[in-house]
Structure formats: structure tokens, C-alpha cells
Amino acid sequence: MPDRIYNFSPGPATLPQEVLAQAAKDIVNFNDKGIGLIELSHRSKEFMAVAEETEALLRELLNVPDNYKVLFLQGGASTQFAMIPMNLLGPGKKATYLNTGTWAKKAIKEANIIANADVAYSSEDSSFNHVPDQSDYTVDPESEYLYFVSNNTIYGTQFHSFPETDKMLVSDMSSDILSRRIDIKPFGIIFAGAQKNMGPAGATVVIIREDLLDRTPDSIPTMLRYKTHADKGSMFNTPPCFAIYAIGLVLKWLKKMGGVSALEEMNREKAALLYQAIDATDFIKGHAQENSRSMMNITFNLPSPELEAQFIQEGLAKGLDGLKGHRSIGGIRASIYNAFPRQGVLDLIGFMQEFEQKNG
């Protein structure tokens, strides 16, 4: 087994090696101050500088408008499934949701506990193998917002273009944030768990339009109000310090690589190489429909579950880790986020071809 394997895990996912090296150093002795990063007070000037720089980098790389707040929260993206309707929907109000996978279903469930989620479209009958076209659904005119998951990690599908509607957009971008250029202005809220494309587990980034902070009903508890965290610069309580610091390192790396536009080109090339290998044979079958294929999570099946298990085991022996598909659908899944190297994709393709020659 090589010292550094290729990590195809959907999250926590691979990080740039230079980020890992710097973090390892700073955990023990941050900036040669004789104290470890994870020991620093979140109120110290040293950590406050880290948090401010991380936010500034994220704003720069995503071109976040001035009338949006950037929050670093805890509770994972799953907590946002409830926080969004709690903050944006009062009694009797509704929102429209697009059901394109497991995480959308979970968000719909939480929204229905609090208010009313109108499900305008679902691809569940086809095992979530596609996302809808604009003409496939209608947004309820009484809806406060349209909610969708931009990239469906489990099923390997992605919105190549975002919905167009006069309603405010809300999106879970946990698995493709920073992987392509986006226009934030149509969105009221974008949120993302850090552990796929931004850093380690522990922090969830929320980008929220400022005017929405005052829409929260009085009945919502303090910690579950976006305004609580916005007013205190994400420091109302002790934030996920290490995760925020590591996100900052990843953002510095991303900027050095040329920013989001440069990473988008690299991501498109990596995904195209892998999809070409899938389409070149009948031995391997991709799960997602071609017009919905994800750049981040490539899902496919072999002729039998037994061959898939063998593929995963033999791949691991070659340093190709994390290829097992989600337990809900099985198969194979290769997650190739921003920090995943092109050479790892080429090595996987070589192994796929070798495996087919032996077992096809």
C-alpha cells in the first residue's frame, strides 16, 4: 500500500496535501507562538484574524455580494433542513421543494414538521437518476422559496443550470460548492457542509441575504435563529475553530490554483475522462442520465453485486479507497472533488479497464 492513497470517499473527503501538512504543524505550534491551533481561544486576536481571513477569502472566491452574511455554524448541513423553514416560514406559509435524492427527502420531511413543503417534482420512481428540466415542474405561486439540492452525492446527479423562477432560491450545495462559478444573487440562502469540498467535518457554511434575518418568527429558539449568529459574526458561542481554520487553508490553496474558474475547468476534465471510460464499455453502466451527470460524484454499476464487491476490494489493494456506493443503492461511487488529483482518476480508469479484461 502506498504512503498516500487516492481517497474517493464522498465525505469527509480528500484535502490538498499541503493543507494537511500545514494543519499538522499548526495543531502543535500555531505561527510559532508556542500554542496549538486547537488550544487557541476563539476570542483571541490570533483566531479572530483566522476567522476574518477565511470569510474574506470565501467572499472573494464566490463573489458574495455585500448584502449577504457568511456564517460558520455547527450541526451539519442536516440542521439547516430545519433551520431554513424555521427562519423563513411562519404559520400557514409554504415553500416548493424538488425531490432529487436522499438529502432533499430529509429536508422535505423537516419542512413539513414546521410548515408546508409543496413537492413540485420527484425523481424517486427512477431511483433518482436525473434532475428535472425547467419545464418538468411548476412552483406554487404562494411559495416563499424554491428549495433544491444542487448536487446529489449518493446518486451522482447535478443541476447543470439552476432553476429560473421569480421566487427566491434556497440550495444545499454541500457537495459542489466552490467547484464551479455561480451567481449568488438569485439565492436567499446557500448552505454547505464543509467536509466535501471545503475542509474537514465540523463546520457548515451558510450564505444568507441580510433582509431574511428579520423574518424569523419570535417562537424560534435563540440558537436556531440566523440573526443570532449574524449579529455576533458566528461567535455567539464557541465556533468550530479547527474546521474554520482548515477551510481557510483550503481557500488559500484554491486561490493559488487560479480560483473557482480554474478549478471548474479541472473538474470538468476529470469528470469527462471518467465518463468516457464508462461509456466506452457495456461492462460498466452509469447510474445517472447523461444530461444530469455530476462532476463531483460519478456513480456506476458492474454486472453483479459480487463483481462490485470484488472491484472495491481489489481497488483498495491498489490504493483506490472509498469506492463503495452508498448503502441505499450499492454499486460504485467515485467522488472527485476539487482537491482530488487528475492522476487518481487516470489510475482508476486503468484499474477499471484491467478489471474488465479479467472479469468481463
What confidence tens digit (pLDDT) does each residue in 254-268 have? Answer: 999 999 999 999 999
pLDDT at 2: 62
What is the C-alpha end-to-end distance of the chain, expressed in Å? 26
Rounded to the nearest 10°, the torsion over CA 46, 47, 50, 55 is -140
In a domain, 7, yes or no: no
In a domain, 35, yes or no: yes
Distances from the Cα of 59 to the Cαs of 66, 203, 241, in angstroms? 9, 17, 19
In a domain, 130, yes or no: yes
Are 329 and 247 in a shared domain? no
Reported as half-sphere exposure (CB side, CA atoms, 13 A), residue 341 has a value of 11
What is the rounded CA–CA span in Å between residue 80 and residue 89?
13
The residue from 69, 94, 167, 196 that is catalytic is 196
Angle of CA points 275, 281, 285, to nearest 5°: 65
24-43 tens-digit pLDDT? 999 999 999 999 999 999 99
CA 282 to chain centre: 31
pLDDT > 70 fraction of the chain, expressed in percent and rounded:
99
> Residue 1 above 70 pLDDT?
no
In a domain, 3, yes or no: no
pLDDT at 337: 98
- Mean pLDDT for 194-216 is 97
What is the rounded CA–CA span in Å between residue 317 and residue 312?
9
pLDDT at 357: 97
101-119 tens-digit pLDDT? 999 999 999 999 999 999 9
Active site residue 196: yes
- Mean pLDDT for 130-153 is 97
- Specify the DSSP element, H or E, that contains 350: helix 342-359
Are 150 and 287 in a shared domain? no
- Mean pLDDT for 316-322 is 96
What is the rounded CA–CA span in Å between residue 232 and residue 253?
28
Q: Is 214 helix (H, G, I), strand (E, B) or coil?
A: helix
Distances from the Cα of 131 to the Cαs of 78, 98, 156, in angstroms? 21, 9, 10
Are 240 and 266 in a shared domain? no
Reported as half-sphere exposure (CB side, CA atoms, 13 A), residue 313 has a value of 6
pLDDT at 217: 94
- Mean pLDDT for 282-293 is 97
In a domain, 8, yes or no: no
Active site residue 94: no
What is the rounded CA–CA span in Å between residue 42 and residue 47?
6
In a domain, 186, yes or no: yes
Q: Which H, E and C letters describe 105-141, residue by residue? A: HHHHHHHHHHCEEEEEEECHHHCCCCCCCHHHCCCCC
**Is the Cβ–Cβ distance between 169 and 162 less than 8 Å?**
yes
> Residue 327 above 90 pLDDT?
no
Are 241 and 329 in a shared domain? no
CATH of the domain at 303: 3.90.1150.10
Are 153 and 200 in a shared domain? yes
CATH of the domain at 222: 3.40.640.10
Angle of CA points 127, 149, 323, to nearest 5°: 60
pLDDT at 260: 98
In a domain, 244, yes or no: yes
Domain end call among 256, 276, 301: 256
> Residue 299 above 90 pLDDT?
yes
Domains held by the chain: number: 2
Are 57 and 195 in a shared domain? yes
What is the rounded CA–CA span in Å between residue 312 and residue 304?
13
Active site residue 172: yes
Nearest to 192 by CA among 73, 100, 111: 73
Owning domain of residue 196: 18-256
Domain end call among 195, 228, 256: 256
- Write out the three cell numbers for 199: 475542509
Domain end call among 206, 236, 256: 256
pLDDT at 267: 98
pLDDT at 283: 97
308-317 tens-digit pLDDT? 999 999 999 9
In a domain, 13, yes or no: no
- Mean pLDDT for 222-248 is 97
pLDDT > 90 fraction of the chain, expressed in percent and rounded:
96
Are 163 and 243 in a shared domain? yes
Mean pLDDT over the full length of the chain = 96
pLDDT at 269: 98
The total of other beta-carbon atoms located within 10 Å of residue 345's CB is: 22
147-186 tens-digit pLDDT? 999 999 999 999 999 999 999 999 999 999 999 999 999 9
